[in-house]
A and B are shown apart, each in its own frame.
Chain A
Amino acid sequence: MRLPCPICGERDRREFYYKGAALERPAPDAGEAAWDDYVYLRENPAGDTRELWYHDGGCGAWLVVTRNTLTHAVIGAELASEAKA
């Protein structure tokens, strides 16, 4: 598996650390349900998914990778610092 780091270019999966779904952090007062969603509840989509990956063995950028869980196609990656949730 290879991921297209927007900074370094396409790199082997071994350089990356996987975190999980890319979600927007709720406001402190957003309530229990919103925080439960953010911290614990995850979709398990058969299809496109947006995930956070860290280019640990590379430039140190956090990425939002869009990937298809059925075909394994990597549709794209953007810097998390620039991504819209």
Chain B
Amino acid sequence: MRVAGKGLLNTGRSVPFTFDGVRYDGIEGDTLASALLANDVKLVGRSFKYHRPRGVLSAGSEEPNALVTIGSGAQKDPNVRATVQEIHAGLQAHSQNRWPSLAFDAMAINNLAAPFLGAGFYYKTFMWPKAFWEKLYEPVIRRAAGLGGLSGENCADEYERAFAFCDLLVIGAGPTGLMAALIAARAGADVILADEDFRMGGRLLAETYEIDGLQGHLWAEQALTELGAMDNVRLMTRTSVVGVYDQGTYAALERVGHHKPHKAGPLECFWRIVAKRCVLAAGAIERPVAFRNNDRPGIMTAGAVRAYLNRWGVSPGKAVTVFGNNDDAHRTARDLLDAGVHVAALIDSRHDAPNFDGAQLMRGGQVCNASGARGIDAITVRTASGEERIRTDCLAMSGGWNPTVHLTCHMNGRPEWNREIAAFVPKPGAVPGMVTAGACNGAFSTADCLQQGIDAAKIALAELGLTAPDTALPDADDAPYRIAPLWAVAGKGRAWLDFQNDVTVKDVKQAATENFRSVEHMKRYTTQGMATDQGKSSNVGALAVLADATGRGIPETGTTTFRPPYSPVAIAALGAGGQGDGFAPQRYTTSHKASVERGAPMVEVGLWYRPSFFPKPGEKTWRQSCDREVGLVREHVGVCDVSTLGKIDIQGPDAAAFLDFVYTNMFSTLKVGRVRYGLMLREDGYVMDDGTTARLGETHFVMTTTTAAAGEVMRHLDFVHQTLCPELDVSFISVTEQWAQFAIAGPKSRDLLNGLLEAPLGEDWPFMACGSVDLMGVQGRLFRISFSGEHAYELAVPARYGAALFRELVARAEALGGGPYGMEALNVLRIEKGLLTHAELHGRITAFDLGLGRMVSAKKDCIGQTLSNRPGLKDPERERLVGLKPVGAIKQLMPGAFLFDKDAEPVRVNGQGYLTSACYSPTVGSTLALAFLKNGPERHGEVIKVVDHLRGLETLCEVVDPVFFDPAGGRARG
């Protein structure tokens, strides 16, 4: 219910929303939780395992119970914490993990079966038979135990990522963070102040005390006004810093669109913030006390009750009871009374609790039970004089506060136990560059927080080389925080520790009994702290119970490891920018449009898109197009865009010497105006890449790499030059993108070019010549090289002319009976000639295997030379390149098939090699394949068996020379 005169919801504007289809009204500034409590809705969800009725426990991001699903369809968002979700007009929220309804949940039967569902239940119950696990147990458990469901539809929301940089990142905008940000900003530092809440101020919004004579929230507003006016400050609300990484990198999730009706724009933004220094002012999280039925709706943390009252003007009950073991709990009772809310009793487990006026104080009392199925109606209090039942519709409990140390542990820091506040505090220096301050550092009075904020900022500023301005400590509350630990109230029945994963005191004790004594083992055995809230409110209580059960102290028991993210992050946010076309760059050649217009299906080759084939009317299969294209190259002339091959411009006085070092063969002997095929090894002696390199001038070369290896070769050249021979005067730059390059292949290729070039090609253009040419007013480069075995050229022009030149070349080729050809035909043409691609150069192949052993010059050192001479890499028994031609009735051959002796059983131990490339050759009139066969070159003429186990194919083949067509090479040279 709302409490008149309380709360900071200034506008008072009414906001309609629905929960499980029922319409409610909240006020602008409400969270879903505060609005539901204002409407006296207590039951908001069902628990994970036992389907127990649950209500709101907290007022922050640590909430374990009040998880709801927001929206519907593709935009359905499960497991949203009602304590974080802001209401807006049209908000639709639904409860989770219940059927058929929240009030009557059939699966609540699990609650009755609880004796069988305790710790280790999964491990013990469903061990046998194995097959039952997948088919029966798991589906049943998954249906019964769970959280909200995914929509099952493609994510329609937009997410974005962004980078930010600052001198100082301040995490948390409570009194500590605000103070630190003020000091740092006034000193001139670039400051980012990030807070997970939609309104900055932290506990100042939830408390009634004053700073410098101003109400806390007004002091916060004043600080924020000052910060907001400074250019060097960036205020990031709704931004949770969720991860801490090396060298001052922080991950933060900003909720951009969840608080308003959906429209265009990102829903969330995942930030990578790089900060030279960081002040962690993340505050503290209140912990519950474990007692029987402490999970009833209406039982909340005391600080949350205070927050709902003071910030949202809501009292979660009409007759509230308060139960605590520390002074802070008294504040809740005091604020409620001051607001006119009836406080039925203040139960303080300490026998020396301070006095309290206005309500019954039960010193040394402990709440040992609660009743009321869908909402608490009474509690049982145990004191020295016996047990007493008190009627109440809300219990505010406090087992003390845990500093929010999580982010200090992301780089392997372990928090330390502080006996005085009975809580873990960060280990100083746990994260390089980060200073912890305020409640997250164990400072629990406002004055301490402000002082630590000032001190932390000063430390950071000094390290940044900036001078902190003189700042007086504001006048603020300095009451001490006194606590006497109470983790679990003794007694029968189930007392909850982890509300979200349904872990009870009994479960933890059972884990200890079964010798899961390490906190990490206990965690996994009981699932304590493994839910979406990661046990923020329960971990310390659970390990205290474990410590007790194992007879150790809490420091010896230790904590589990806190890992990123601090609070849940949608995968869509982590992958922001990578949806659809953002997944990878798309590289288009200049002929792309013309190819698409001709109906060519485009295939991805690395990041490039290349045409598979160019279908003609009447062609029904790719093979028909491919066969025709092969034929037009062999008989007339074909045109193919080869711009995607890597091209590297290499210049300098030592360019030739450098090439001699990276290639196995000699390039210093290459004449200007000539091209040579080169083979590149890795240092381990295996082939890395091949290609042609042209010598354009005495000190100027252009190297061609395969499309796939272009980036790798560039990196390799830089590596060899910079790390192995920096003394060589050579430089290189990629020119792949500068030139649009087209293969013109076939007996009529020279005719085509002579119609185009300003100076016809004469006899001085032999095979492997290169040079500059003029055509249609443009200067280009011509290389007489062939990847088809035909008389062929590659013509390069500056890329801007690529689109026009491709159309021109195709038109001229068609006039000569030829036309364009695609990747399929290119592949057939090269297989017919036994030419290599990365299907063959797959990383386990040596020059020797390819029959190119003589290309590894013994006259000079080169990368890979030494190790290529290892005996094992020159063993004739190695699998070596051969051609295969079917000889039996079955003609089919597929890459990936294995080779066996004709009569051998096709099992692994009998393997003789494998097949790498295959095609139907219209030129030869047969299926052809390239393969690696043990001792292959010595076995030409032998018939072997090729078995494709995957497709169930068995083909008898004759071993032949890998050059199937024109072995003498007359066509290319002619």
Query: What residues make up the interface of A, taking CB atoms closer than 8 Å to B?
Result: 1-2, 10, 12, 17, 19, 22, 25-26, 28, 35, 38-40, 52, 54, 56, 60-62, 72-74, 79-82
How many interface residues does B have (CB within 8 Å)?
24
What are the residues of chain B within 8 A of A60 when measuring CB–CB? Answer: 718
> Would B248 and A56 count as touching, CB distance under 8 A?
no
Q: How far is it, in angstroms, between the C-alpha of A71 and the C-alpha of B721 when the chains are bound? A: 32
What are the residues of chain A within 8 A of B867 when measuring CB–CB? Answer: 35, 39
- Nearest Cβ in chain B — how far from A5, in angstroms? 13
> Would A39 and B715 count as touching, CB distance under 8 A?
no
Q: How far is it, in angstroms, between the C-alpha of A25 and the C-alpha of B721 when the chains are bound? A: 13
Q: How far is it, in angstroms, between the C-alpha of A26 and the C-alpha of B411 when the chains are bound? A: 38
What are the residues of chain B within 8 A of A74 when measuring CB–CB? Answer: 246-247
4 A-B pairs with the lowest CB-CB distances in the bound complex, closest first: A2-B247, A81-B726, A1-B246, A62-B722
Report if B866 contacts A (CB, 8 A).
Answer: yes
Q: Which of A17, A25, A26 has the most CB of B within 10 A?
A: A25
Q: How far is it, in angstroms, between the C-alpha of A79 and the C-alpha of B721 when the chains are bound? A: 12
What are the residues of chain A within 8 A of B719 when measuring CB–CB? Answer: 19, 52, 54, 62
Neighbour of B723 across the interface among A39, A40, A80, CB < 8 A = A80
From A40, which residue of chain B is reached at the shortest CB distance?
A: B684
Q: How far is it, in angstroms, between the C-alpha of A17 and the C-alpha of B719 when the chains are bound? A: 11
> Would B715 and A35 count as touching, CB distance under 8 A?
no
What are the residues of chain A within 8 A of B627 when measuring CB–CB? Answer: none
* Known contacts A1-B247, A2-B247, A28-B866, A79 near B272 by CB under 8 Å: no
From A63, which residue of chain B is reached at the shortest CB distance?
A: B722
What are the residues of chain B within 8 A of A12 when measuring CB–CB? Answer: 163, 249, 272, 274
Q: How far is it, in angstroms, between the C-alpha of A18 and the C-alpha of B726 when the chains are bound? A: 20
Binary interface encoding of chain B residues 189-219 relative to chain A, with 1 for a CB under 8 A from any of its CBs, else 0: 0000000000000000000000000000000
Neighbour of B715 across the interface among A25, A26, A54, A72, CB < 8 A = A54
> Would A2 and B246 count as touching, CB distance under 8 A?
yes
From B248, which residue of chain A is reached at the shortest CB distance?
A: A2
From A31, which residue of chain B is reached at the shortest CB distance?
A: B866
From B276, which residue of chain A is reached at the shortest CB distance?
A: A10
Neighbour of B722 across the interface among A38, A56, A72, A79, CB < 8 A = A79
Q: How far is it, in angstroms, between the C-alpha of A83 and the C-alpha of B726 when the chains are bound? A: 10
Q: How far is it, in angstroms, between the C-alpha of A62 and the C-alpha of B722 when the chains are bound? A: 7
From A4, which residue of chain B is reached at the shortest CB distance?
A: B247
From B432, which residue of chain A is reached at the shortest CB distance?
A: A73
Report if B683 contacts A (CB, 8 A).
Answer: yes
* Those of B675-712 within 8 Å (CB) of chain A: 683-684
Q: How far is it, in angstroms, between the C-alpha of A81 and the C-alpha of B334 when the chains are bound? A: 71
Report if B861 contacts A (CB, 8 A).
Answer: yes
> Would A52 and B246 count as touching, CB distance under 8 A?
no
If A1-B247, A74-B246 are given as contacts, then 20 extra A-B residue pairs at C-beta distance below 8 Å, sorted by A number, are: A2-B246, A2-B249, A12-B249, A19-B719, A25-B724, A28-B861, A28-B865, A40-B684, A52-B719, A52-B723, A54-B718, A60-B718, A62-B719, A62-B722, A72-B411, A73-B432, A80-B723, A81-B722, A81-B723, A81-B726
> Would B715 and A17 count as touching, CB distance under 8 A?
yes
What are the residues of chain B within 8 A of A22 when measuring CB–CB? Answer: 723
Report if B24 contacts A (CB, 8 A).
Answer: no
From A73, which residue of chain B is reached at the shortest CB distance?
A: B432
> Would A56 and B715 count as touching, CB distance under 8 A?
yes
What are the residues of chain A within 8 A of B724 when measuring CB–CB? Answer: 25
Q: Would you give 6 A-B contacts (Cβ < 8 Å), ordered by A?
A: A2-B274, A12-B163, A19-B719, A62-B722, A72-B247, A79-B722
From B723, which residue of chain A is reached at the shortest CB distance?
A: A80
* Those of B714-731 within 8 Å (CB) of chain A: 715, 718-719, 721-724, 726
> Would A62 and B718 count as touching, CB distance under 8 A?
yes
Report if B122 contacts A (CB, 8 A).
Answer: no
- Nearest Cβ in chain B — how far from A49, in angstroms? 14
If over half of B's interface residues share one DSSP class (helix, strand or loop), that class is named, otherwise mixed; here it is helix
Q: How far is it, in angstroms, between the C-alpha of A56 and the C-alpha of B249 when the chains are bound? A: 20
- Nearest Cβ in chain A — how far from B320, in angstroms? 49
From A23, which residue of chain B is reached at the shortest CB distance?
A: B723
- Nearest Cβ in chain B — how far from A37, in angstroms? 12
What are the residues of chain A within 8 A of B247 when measuring CB–CB? Answer: 1-2, 10, 72, 74
Binary interface encoding of chain B residues 407-451 relative to chain A, with 1 for a CB under 8 A from any of its CBs, else 0: 000010000000000000000000010000000000000000000
From A30, which residue of chain B is reached at the shortest CB distance?
A: B866
Report if B245 contacts A (CB, 8 A).
Answer: yes
Q: How far is it, in angstroms, between the C-alpha of A56 and the C-alpha of B247 when the chains are bound? A: 20
Q: How far is it, in angstroms, between the C-alpha of A22 and the C-alpha of B683 when the chains are bound? A: 14
Q: How far is it, in angstroms, between the C-alpha of A74 and the C-alpha of B246 when the chains are bound? A: 9
Q: How far is it, in angstroms, between the C-alpha of A35 and the C-alpha of B684 when the chains are bound? A: 9
What are the residues of chain A within 8 A of B861 when measuring CB–CB? Answer: 28
Q: How far is it, in angstroms, between the C-alpha of A40 and the C-alpha of B684 when the chains are bound? A: 9
* Known contacts A1-B245, A1-B249, A35 near B866 by CB under 8 Å: yes
From B719, which residue of chain A is reached at the shortest CB distance?
A: A62
Q: How far is it, in angstroms, between the C-alpha of A52 and the C-alpha of B715 when the chains are bound? A: 12
From B865, which residue of chain A is reached at the shortest CB distance?
A: A28
- Nearest Cβ in chain A — how far from B734, in angstroms? 10
Q: How far is it, in angstroms, between the C-alpha of A82 and the C-alpha of B726 when the chains are bound? A: 8
From A80, which residue of chain B is reached at the shortest CB distance?
A: B723
Q: How far is it, in angstroms, between the C-alpha of A67 and the C-alpha of B245 when the chains are bound? A: 15
Q: How far is it, in angstroms, between the C-alpha of A61 and the C-alpha of B245 when the chains are bound? A: 25
What are the residues of chain A within 8 A of B246 when measuring CB–CB? Answer: 1-2, 72, 74
* Those of B454-480 within 8 Å (CB) of chain A: none
Q: How far is it, in angstroms, between the C-alpha of A39 and the C-alpha of B247 when the chains are bound? A: 31
What are the residues of chain A within 8 A of B432 when measuring CB–CB? Answer: 73
> Would B718 and A39 count as touching, CB distance under 8 A?
no
Q: How far is it, in angstroms, between the C-alpha of A72 and the C-alpha of B433 when the chains are bound? A: 13
* Known contacts A1-B246, A1-B249, A39 near B274 by CB under 8 Å: no
Q: How far is it, in angstroms, between the C-alpha of A38 and the C-alpha of B718 when the chains are bound? A: 19
From A25, which residue of chain B is reached at the shortest CB distance?
A: B724
From A1, which residue of chain B is reached at the shortest CB distance?
A: B246
Q: How far is it, in angstroms, between the C-alpha of A22 and the C-alpha of B724 when the chains are bound? A: 11
Q: How far is it, in angstroms, between the C-alpha of A17 and the C-alpha of B308 when the chains are bound? A: 51
Q: Which of B163, B718, B865 has the most CB of A within 10 A?
A: B718
What are the residues of chain A within 8 A of B274 when measuring CB–CB? Answer: 2, 12
What are the residues of chain A within 8 A of B684 when measuring CB–CB? Answer: 39-40
Q: How far is it, in angstroms, between the C-alpha of A60 and the C-alpha of B719 when the chains are bound? A: 10
Binary interface encoding of chain B residues 824-845 relative to chain A, with 1 for a CB under 8 A from any of its CBs, else 0: 0000000000000000000000
Q: How far is it, in angstroms, between the C-alpha of A79 and the C-alpha of B274 when the chains are bound? A: 24
What are the residues of chain B within 8 A of A73 when measuring CB–CB? Answer: 432
Binary interface encoding of chain B residues 648-686 relative to chain A, with 1 for a CB under 8 A from any of its CBs, else 0: 000000000000000000000000000000000001100
> Would B683 and A39 count as touching, CB distance under 8 A?
yes
Q: Which of B247, B249, B272, B274 has the most CB of A within 10 A?
A: B247
From B727, which residue of chain A is reached at the shortest CB distance?
A: A81
From B862, which residue of chain A is reached at the shortest CB distance?
A: A28
Binary interface encoding of chain B residues 721-747 relative to chain A, with 1 for a CB under 8 A from any of its CBs, else 0: 111101000000000000000000000
- Nearest Cβ in chain B — how far from A53, in angstroms? 11
- Nearest Cβ in chain A — how far from B749, in angstroms? 37
Binary interface encoding of chain B residues 159-203 relative to chain A, with 1 for a CB under 8 A from any of its CBs, else 0: 000010000000000000000000000000000000000000000
Q: How far is it, in angstroms, between the C-alpha of A17 and the C-alpha of B718 when the chains are bound? A: 12
- Nearest Cβ in chain B — how far from A73, in angstroms? 7
- Nearest Cβ in chain B — how far from A55, in angstroms? 10
Q: How far is it, in angstroms, between the C-alpha of A52 and the C-alpha of B723 when the chains are bound? A: 9
Q: How far is it, in angstroms, between the C-alpha of A80 and the C-alpha of B233 when the chains are bound? A: 39
* Known contacts A1-B245, A28-B865, A35-B866, A61 near B683 by CB under 8 Å: no
What are the residues of chain B within 8 A of A17 when measuring CB–CB? Answer: 715
From A54, which residue of chain B is reached at the shortest CB distance?
A: B715
Q: How far is it, in angstroms, between the C-alpha of A62 and the C-alpha of B721 when the chains are bound? A: 10
From B860, which residue of chain A is reached at the shortest CB distance?
A: A28
What are the residues of chain B within 8 A of A2 when measuring CB–CB? Answer: 246-249, 274
What are the residues of chain B within 8 A of A54 when measuring CB–CB? Answer: 715, 718-719
From A61, which residue of chain B is reached at the shortest CB distance?
A: B722
Q: How far is it, in angstroms, between the C-alpha of A18 and the C-alpha of B308 when the chains are bound? A: 52
Q: How far is it, in angstroms, between the C-alpha of A1 and the C-alpha of B272 when the chains are bound? A: 11
What are the residues of chain A within 8 A of B163 when measuring CB–CB? Answer: 12
* Those of B477-526 within 8 Å (CB) of chain A: none
- Nearest Cβ in chain B — how far from A44, in angstroms? 18
